[in-house]
Structure 1
Amino acid sequence: MQEERNSNIHLRPRFKMEFEENKEQLINKFHDNLNDGECKYCSKIVDGHIIIDVPKENSHFWSPQLNIQVEKAEGEKTIVKGLFGPKPTVWTFFMFIHFAAAVAFIGFSIMWYVKYTIKQDTTLAMVMTISLPVFWFILYFLGRMGKRTGHKQMDELHSFMMKTLDKKL
């Protein structure tokens, strides 16, 4: 088993591992371990896609989710790709705010230019154009703070996955 990780800067860390077992064996390991009565994690398994959530009683706004994609490689080899990230609702909310800020930035930049060329008061447009990038940085650091808040749970999900993948059938 070999694990590759991207840098730690990403808000949604990714990894990739290669196994000598076939796809069905790896999926069965997850299926058996997640259906075990002692397993505390919530999960969904659809084809080669596995989603693992933290238990509802330990879940909070910043709780991570582990998305695993099991893909067949050449021969009996299998590639397991993983992505840690916030729940889809949190991620969609953050992306919506980023998109709205980007559109507002473009709009206020155009407004600033137009008002400047027709020699009108540019105060509001200038303040908004300058403050929106500051708002983007605040959003970025909020995301980093959220990642740090959910880091312990991310480690627990990673340990659970590694324990499941190491288990012999």
Structure 2
Amino acid sequence: MSVELFEVRPRFRKLVPHSMEELTGNVKTSLEASAQEITGSVGPSYLVLKVKSDERHFWTPQLNVSLEDDPNGTIVNGMYGPRPDIWMLFVFLYFLCGFITLVVLIIGLSQYQLGLSAYILWAIPFTLGGIFVLWFSSRTGQRLGKDQLQKIHGFVQQHLLVNGTDV
């Protein structure tokens, strides 16, 4: 599994020739095995897989999986990403930087059109720099969590995506 440059939350979609009950039962049994380094929760049509809590850090990824019935088996949709609280923090910070950029741009261009000093426009490079810093830190976080992502993906390949085909 490779992570592309601009892929924020890597995804996969596979068709597995097993029923949802078989898949969830298999994953639940595997999670209960004490030797596994993966933990999570299993519902009737979803899974959330994480690294055990003693190995987690700020950038630890998790996998959210939804299962859909299909005449040929089950469609498995997976999306890797940070914990929901980390994800919302970044969404909020991106929104905040974007909103500040928009407000500064509106005020600055209004002042410019009125023939007034538009020094506030000098704040735009800083807000765009803030967006770049957020992007760079999220990419750094992805690199720091890559080994754990591979660990989760290995578990999924072994216990969920056996004989799966791309959809």
Whether these two folds match at TM > 0.5 is yes
8 Å contact kept, 1:27–1:70? no
| 129-138 or 54-63: bigger deviation | 129-138
Q: Please state whether the residue corresponding to 1:142 is helix, strand or coil.
A: helix
Partner SS state of residue 60, structure 1? coil
Q: 2:13 aligns with which of 12, 16, 24?
A: 16
Displacement of 1:36 after TM fit? 2.0
**d(CA) in 2 for partners of 1:157 and 1:130?**
39
Counterparts of 1:87-106 in structure 2, within 5 Å, are 87-106=83-102
In structure 1, the gaps of 5 or more residues are none
* Residue matched to 2:60: 63
2:140 counterpart (136, 145, 168): 145
What is the distance in 1 between the residues matched to 2:114 and 2:127?
23
Structure of greater relative contact order (alpha carbons < 8 Å, 6+ residues apart): 2
Q: Is the 8 A contact 2:61 2:81 kept in 1?
A: yes
What is the one-letter code of the residue matched to 2:21?
Answer: E
How far apart are 1:118 and its partner, in Å? 2.3
| Cα separation, 1, equivalents of 2:138 and 2:125 | 21
Q: Closer, same or farther in 2 for the Cα pair 1:55/1:11, shift >3 Å?
A: same
Within the candidate set 151, 160, 163, 2:158 is matched to: 163
Indicate whether 1:132 and 2:127 are aligned.
yes
Normalising by structure 1, we get a TM-score of 0.88
The answer to whether the aligner puts 1:27 opposite 2:24 as a matched pair is yes
CA distance in 2, matches of 1:138, 1:35: 40
User: Where does structure 2 lack aligned partners over 5 or more consecutive residues?
Assistant: none
Alignment RMSD (CA, Å): 1.8
Aligned length: 161
Conservation of the 8 A alpha-carbon contact between 2:20 and 2:44:
no
Residue 40 (structure 1) aligned with residue 65 (structure 2): no
Q: What SS does the corresponding residue of 1:84 show, helix, strand or coil?
A: strand
- Show CA shifts across 1:136-169 (max 9, x none): 12211111111011000000000011111249xx
